[in-house]
Structure 1
Amino acid sequence: MRNPTPWFLISVVIIVLDQVSKYAITQSFALGEGVAITSFFNLVLAYNTGAAFSFLANAGGWQKVFFAGIAVVASVVMFYLLHKHYQERLFSFAISLILGGAVGNLIDRVVLGHVVDFLDFYAAGYHFPAFNVADSAITVGAALLIWDSFKKPVDKS
């Protein structure tokens, strides 16, 4: 690859998919309303003012600015990493997914004051907290970063 543009386009695709899906859900459901799709998957409209798994969701409001700030700083770092390492395909793909997810959720925090979640899964009697397309991209990107870290040779100097 000759430049980082394709990696940024992947991030933009994630942002668009995330925002379009959140818009569709918010137009179709009231808060807390849902519909069973399968025996293990529901669509449900939920708002998250905290971080992953609603961490600090009831912290009084300061967490919104805090998490938005973290997302901005992380996005700047990922933008830099994509410019510096755009030739590294797996690493750059992972960072592109994480960047798209981070910006998708950042848009929610800034515009709405909360993140819209709607994918609701059950497995073996366990109810997984609702999440969204941005969260999915972040999770897949993080897993790919871990995989990429195992593929790189260890410097023995």
Structure 2
Amino acid sequence: MTEFQQPDPAKTKRPLVWGRFSSLVLVVALAGLVADQASKLWLLFGYGLGVNGPVQVLPFLEFVLVWNRGVSYGLFQQDSAAGQWVLAGLTVAITIGMWIWSARCQSKLVAFALALVIGGAIGNGIDRIIYGAVVDFVHFHIGSFSWYVFNLADVWIVAGVAGLLYDSFRNGPNSAAK
């Protein structure tokens, strides 16, 4: 190969576990995980949200305890221990897949977005393993309209997915996979 030829991307070895932005992914995912778990622990055990009941924060925002035994928006509710472990196992598998994707990505935006999703997924996965359900507590409502109840992990996941979608529209449909 001469100095003017580019290496064949198909022959270039791509990292599996640790890549160009893995340090960033690790720090952002851990920060999101810590913020999520700290907020849940404080509301459950510091304030005692389950005992003291809902807290009106603003006219359109309250903290209320909801145990989500399903996935996003309460879909696929699982009341059995086996169902909860299946969801926990899926969380682990998806998180590993996203970590591998992040190790191979070439964009800081994609790495950051994946880090948010990873941190959120681990946060909700910890809840599922410890409590058998995800701790949701943020409730937006305006008049008779009520948004679903969520937590910080859900915010990280939605923000991460939004970043991945933005990247796919900005650079073409396959850019996030690169």
Q: TM-score, normalised by structure 2?
A: 0.79
Cα deviations by residue, 1:6-51 (Å, 9 ceiling, x for unpaired): 2211000000000000001101111682111111100111211111
Which amino acid letter does the alignment assign opposite residue 145 of structure 2?
Answer: Y
CA contact (8 A) 1:42 1:119 kept: yes
Q: 1:123 to 1:62 in 2, by over 3 A?
A: farther
Q: Of 104, 120, 125, which residue of structure 1 is paired with 2:123?
A: 104
Q: Does 1:144 align with 2:169?
A: no
Whether the 8 Å CA contact 1:47–1:116 is kept in 2: the answer is yes
Q: For structure 2, which runs of at least 5 residues remain unmatched after alignment?
A: 1-18
Residue in structure 2 matched with residue 83 of structure 1 by the alignment: 103
1:24 aligned onto 2:42: yes
Is residue 61–residue 141 contact of structure 2 (8 Å, CA) maintained in 1?
Answer: yes
RMSD of aligned alpha carbons: 2.0
Identity %: 30
Moved over 4 A (4+): none
What code does the residue aligned with 2:65 have? L
Is 2:83 aligned against 1:63?
A: yes
Aligned to 2:133: 114
| 1:26 alignment partner AA | L
Secondary structure of 2:55's partner?
strand
Contact kept? 2:73, 2:148, Cα under 8 Å:
yes
Secondary structure of 1:56's aligned partner: coil
Q: 2:50 aligns to what SS in structure 1?
A: coil
Shift of 1:123: 3.3
Letter of the aligned partner of 2:95 in structure 1? S
Secondary structure of 1:45's partner? Answer: strand
Cα separation, 2, equivalents of 1:98 and 1:125: 31
User: Which amino acid in 2 is paired with 1:6?
Assistant: L
Cα deviation for residue 125 of structure 1 reads 2.6
CA distance in 1 between counterparts of 2:137 and 2:28 reads 22
Tell me the matched-pair count: 154
Contact 1:31-1:46 within 8 A present in 2 as well: no
| Cross-structure match for 1:129 | 148
User: Which residue is 2:55 aligned to?
Assistant: 35
* Distance in 2, Cα, partners of 1:103 & 1:119: 19
Sort the Cα spacing of 1:75 and 1:32 in 2 relative to 1 into closer, same or farther, 3 A.
farther
